[in-house]
Amino acid sequence: MERAEKHNCIIDCRVSSTKQVSGGGLGSQQAACEVVAKQRGWRVLRIFSKVYSGRKEEREDFEEIIKYITQCKDGDAPVHYFLVKSIDRFTRDGAVSYSEMQSRLAHLGVELIDAYGIVQPEKNTLEHLGFEYSWSKQSPTASAQLMEAQRAKDEVSGILTRMIGASIERIQEGYKVRQANDGFLNEVIFVDGKKKVIQVPDPSRSHYLKEMFNLRATGRYSDKEIVDKVNALGYRSRVRKKWSKDSSGGRSKVVGTTEGACLTVKGLQRTIQKPIYAGVICEKWTHHKPLKAKYDGLVSIETFNLANRGKVVILEGAGDKLELLYNQKDPSKTLAKRLKFNPDFTYDKMVLCPMGCGKPTLSSYSTGKLGIKYPAYHCNRSHYWRVSKEDFEKQINHFLQNIEFTPEFNKSFEFVLLRKYRQREKELAKTSSVIHHNISDLKSEQAEALENFEKTSSPVVRKKLEEKIERLEAEIKAARQQRLHTEIQENDIRSFVRHVQRLMEHPAETLGDNGNPYKQRAFFELVFEGTPTYQEITNGTPKLSLVFRLSKEFMATKSQCVTLRGIEPRF
């Protein structure tokens, strides 16, 4: 009679992942437990259904159930039975955790029951003698229960070893596991009859990632300018699913999607540092060592290194051996830091000392007895050499005025330049068209938001729509500015053509312009195979690159024995 009064139960259903939810795992558990409750005439007070890992030692979902049982204990409907489908749905943390959780239920007067019948009520082994002790009360299937709990734990270990082990092997072979990276799509292929996954460019998003790397690799744009250009093309972050959370904080079901956001400077910097976009895998499962993926990246390793500017560098060795270096010095920054050019001297640090030390000439003013400053180029590294600024620059200017492009280079360069110009003109037109379509899409979205704003009367919704309309207006203005800038660049290309033609006709003007010493230094490296010494300049013997030559007039002048014939006596 006492046992017949115990008729209240709760049902606990648990799955480890959202995939099991979609597979109907929770529903089948609930159905099995309801059948047992109906057969035994128990009243179901509450059904707990959640996504939670049974391997965790600290179970927030179980604590919620304990709290509910405690609240019901002093009420009109106390809980008598805790019903689960099987022991592995109760816990997968092994025999110790199983015993502890079962003891906590017993302390509250609740008996654990499973639908498979493995868990049996406790019996007093001294009942026939009329005595009872704490140790004499036990379930006939106590050993079986502990074995089942431990088997559930061992089963998890086996499942995870097979699944995670196979994933690690796939990664170390150069294939893909998990969700595709932004700009890629996962594609299944078969290798030796086995299914494997590679990444291929996403037609709808890969061009955004390529543009980020290519723009940053040029070194001509700031990160903010790159972000504005990419956003003007229509970039938005990937739309993600929005999940509702259960009582334990886990994901239960999809309730919507997140709206794509514009690119930010931090987002750009995070993205370009990922080696996967150069076709290189480097993560925990590769022991953080880089390896070549079985698929191509979106950009080349060279472009990746240029875009990262020393932050992340991929080095290629023999036999596809790769090495990742971090926080390397940017060569351009090192040059800017070490070489401080004097604007008063046209060729400061552009020519080497003729005394054989191999160091660039220095420049400074020396003050005479009368307080007059005398500018000069000099070198005082273990030797002394000095030439006045006037004589030094006169010699350099005379040499530069007598260099010219070779005829062969002129013909080929004009052809290549024209072809590159047409190619760039086509790219700009395409970019301008993409931005135009993006502006149209933004205007359509803005019009829809305005229409919804007029229809709704909810203050909350109207406020949200106002914020969206203002954000879209700002994006439209930014895209228009980028389109205008792109159209201006078409004229810039024509100006560049005229500039190149002027450079080809008068190279000395550009080489002698120290308004931008780094640009001037780059032109010097274009003209000479190596940095010339002052003596080589005066003698006309520096090694010129293949595209330059000395004029015939200069060669005729240098063919004279010493100097041109004058009034001085000759020996």
- DSSP letter string, 479-543: HHHHHHHHHHHHHHHHHHHHHHHHHHH-HHHHHT--SSHHHHHHHHHHHBSSPPBHHHHHHT---
Of the candidates 28, 298, 276, the one whose C-alpha atom is nearest the C-alpha of residue 176 is: 276
For residue 44, with 0-12 CB atoms within 10 Å meaning exposed, 13-18 middle and 19 or more buried, which class applies? middle
Q: Tens digits of per-residue pLDDT, 446-489?
A: 888 888 877 888 888 788 888 888 888 888 888 777 776 665 55
Collect all residues with Cβ–Cβ distance below 8 Å to 189 and sequence separation of at least 6.
195, 196, 197, 198
pLDDT score recorded for residue 569: 45
Collect all residues with Cβ–Cβ distance below 8 Å to 551 and sequence separation of at least 6.
402, 403, 404
CB contact at 8 A, 514 and 348: yes
- How far the first Cα of the chain sits from its last, in Å, is 142
Q: Tens digits of per-residue pLDDT, 83-134?
A: 999 998 888 888 888 899 999 999 898 999 999 888 888 888 888 888 888 7
Round to whole Å and give the CA distance between 428 and 233: 12
Question: Tokens representing 297?
Answer: 């990246």
Q: Which residue has the higher pLDDT, 517 or 352?
A: 352
With H, G, I as helix, E, B as strand and everything else as coil, classify residue 559.
coil
Average pLDDT, the chain: 81
List the CATH code of the domain at 8-154.
3.40.50.1390
Of the candidates 526, 84, 531, the one whose C-alpha atom is nearest the C-alpha of residue 350 is: 531
Q: Tens digits of per-residue pLDDT, 174-232?
A: 999 999 999 999 999 999 888 999 999 999 999 999 999 999 998 888 899 899 888 88
Under the banding of pLDDT at 50, 70 and 90, the label for residue 250 is low
Round to whole Å and give the CA distance between 401 and 393: 12
Round to whole Å and give the CA distance between 49 and 46: 10
pLDDT score recorded for residue 220: 80
pLDDT score recorded for residue 375: 92
Q: Tens digits of per-residue pLDDT, 337-382?
A: 445 778 888 888 888 898 888 888 888 898 888 888 999 999 987 7
Under the banding of pLDDT at 50, 70 and 90, the label for residue 62 is confident
Round to whole Å and give the CA distance between 271 and 210: 11
Full DSSP string of 445-458: HHHHHHHHHHH---
Q: Is the pLDDT of residue 570 over 60?
A: no
Under the banding of pLDDT at 50, 70 and 90, the label for residue 559 is low
Q: Is the pLDDT of residue 401 over 50?
A: yes
pLDDT score recorded for residue 279: 94
Of the candidates 54, 8, 9, the one whose C-alpha atom is nearest the C-alpha of residue 248 is: 54
pLDDT score recorded for residue 527: 78
List the CATH code of the domain at 184-332.
3.90.1750
Calculated CA dihedral for residues 298, 299, 300, 301, nearest 10 degrees:
-100
pLDDT score recorded for residue 56: 66
Under the banding of pLDDT at 50, 70 and 90, the label for residue 567 is very low
pLDDT score recorded for residue 176: 94
pLDDT score recorded for residue 84: 92
Predicted TM-score (pTM) of the model is 0.58
Under the banding of pLDDT at 50, 70 and 90, the label for residue 502 is low
pLDDT score recorded for residue 301: 93
